Amino acid sequence: MRGGLPLFRFKGIRVLVHWTFLLLPAYIAFMGWSEGTAMTEILVEIGLVMIVFVCVVLHEFGHALTAQRYGVGTRDITLLPIGGVASLERMPEDPKQEFMITVAGPLVNLVIAVLAFGLIAITGISLLLTDLFNDITSWNAVLSFLVMSNLGLFLFNLIPAFPMDGGRILRSLLSMRLPRERATRIAAGVGRFLALGFVAYGLLEGAPFLALIGLFIFMAAGAEAKQVAQQSRMRSILVQDVMKMDPLCLDQAMDLQSAWNQLTFGEHQVLMVLDQGRYVGLVGREELRSAMVIGSPGTLVALARKVAPVHSTDPALPVLQRMMAEGVPAVPVLVAGSATAVLTRDRLMDAFNSQLADKR
Ligand SMILES: [Zn+2]
């Protein structure tokens, strides 16, 4: 569901309209036409739906601009016929930040409703309970429509059907007390249960959009729960689960050809350079090969790269991020204080990839 027609940009955030959004006015026009509704009334209905979507955009900006305050960017806001989606680069794992970002959207709708209600109260005319279609062109009718629709958006979004706003609020509140994975599992379970309710109600009562929203929520809740579970499994991998014990250790005075022979004989990816048994640095297979190709003379000490060691009990994910940032293919591992193992980027990637593929 990515991409769409760009509408405008505000504070660096693009607002897009997905092509399926056009199905909405088309659907309203078709329903009106098939029931013999007057053209003006159909246009009014479409206009009212567009007003709702302006409020939806403001709601999404509530999320996006709050996220900006926590340094989280938003790629774009996309309008779909079932609502708006702000594509945040990430959701902060700090439950307080997730709570603030999430609650900001529905609060925008509450503020619009209160402001519109205030305007009605000031002008002294209450059309709040009158039939909208009897007097749609009046200013007060539009205001009362704003009150009703925004109260509706506010309450609907607070339904704890994860990953709807209410579900995210529930998850953030739970994860103040519980591990994030468990909190997500609970919120996703509640979300899927409610989503099935939406689908059933939508099908039985002839509300196809509600059924569609239910289906969407059901799938999205499962996907996000799975993603969080994967993240927490990846985080549970320690350096000692992936490291290679007994790496090839060679003295710094060894010439490159002999080192290459030993490296290829043992099918190692990396070798550890030692000076009288003490760790000096690492040499990767590629670096050694390049040095051989250009025919550099000399010994291993010239190639040894002093990569700072990690501990065997460290979590592996930050180590991978560090290796990527420093551009090193391996790090030495301290086991009980001395460098006696190596962790290569390839082994780490394999370990993480197998966690991703694992559909437990
Ligand atoms: Zn929202």
Say if residues 70 and 43 touch (Cβ distance below 8 Å): no
Say if residues 333 and 309 touch (Cβ distance below 8 Å): yes
Distance 118 CA to ligand 1 centre (A): 24
Query: What local confidence, expressed as pLDDT, does residue 124 receive?
Result: 59
Query: What local confidence, expressed as pLDDT, does residue 125 receive?
Result: 56
Distance 165 CA to ligand 1 centre (A): 5
Q: Which residue has the tokens 């509450």?
A: 110
Distance 30 CA to ligand 1 centre (A): 29
Sheet holding 74-80, edge to edge: 5-10, 13-17, 74-80, 83-88
Distance 164 CA to ligand 1 centre (A): 7
Task: Walk along the chain (360 residues) in steps of 10 and give the mean pLDDT of each run.
Answer: 78 88 85 84 86 92 94 89 83 91 96 90 58 58 86 92 90 92 90 92 88 88 81 81 85 88 86 86 88 81 86 85 83 80 86 68
Distance 278 CA to ligand 1 centre (A): 57
Residue range 184-226, pLDDT digits in tens: 989 999 999 999 999 999 999 988 888 988 898 888 888 888 8
> Residue 74 pairs with which residues in a beta bridge?
88
> Residue 341 pairs with which residues in a beta bridge?
245, 333
The ranges of the chain annotated as CATH 3.10.580.10 are: 239-357
Q: Give the Cα separation of 97 and 61 in Å (integer).
A: 16
Q: Which residues have C-beta under 5 Å from ligand 1, the single-atom ion? A: 105, 165
> Residue 287 pairs with which residues in a beta bridge?
none
Distance 230 CA to ligand 1 centre (A): 25
Query: What local confidence, expressed as pLDDT, does residue 128 receive?
Result: 47
Distance 38 CA to ligand 1 centre (A): 34
Angle between helices 208-235 and 345-357 in degrees, nearest 10: 150
Distance 131 CA to ligand 1 centre (A): 29
What is 239-357's CATH superfamily? CBS-domain (3.10.580.10)
Q: Give the Cα separation of 131 and 70 in Å (integer).
A: 44
Distance 303 CA to ligand 1 centre (A): 54
Q: In degrees rounded to 5, what are phi and psi of residue 249? A: -115, 125
Query: What local confidence, expressed as pLDDT, does residue 2 receive?
Result: 59
Q: Which residue has the tokens 């504070």?
A: 11
Distance 106 CA to ligand 1 centre (A): 6
Distance 104 CA to ligand 1 centre (A): 8
DSSP state of 359: -
**Closest of 306, 274, 300 to residue 288, by C-alpha:** 300
Dihedral sign from CA coordinates of 246, 247, 251, 256: positive
Q: Give the Cα separation of 2 and 49 in Å (integer).
A: 23
Query: What local confidence, expressed as pLDDT, does residue 137 receive?
Result: 57
Query: What local confidence, expressed as pLDDT, does residue 180 receive?
Result: 86
Q: Give the Cα separation of 206 and 201 in Å (integer).
A: 8
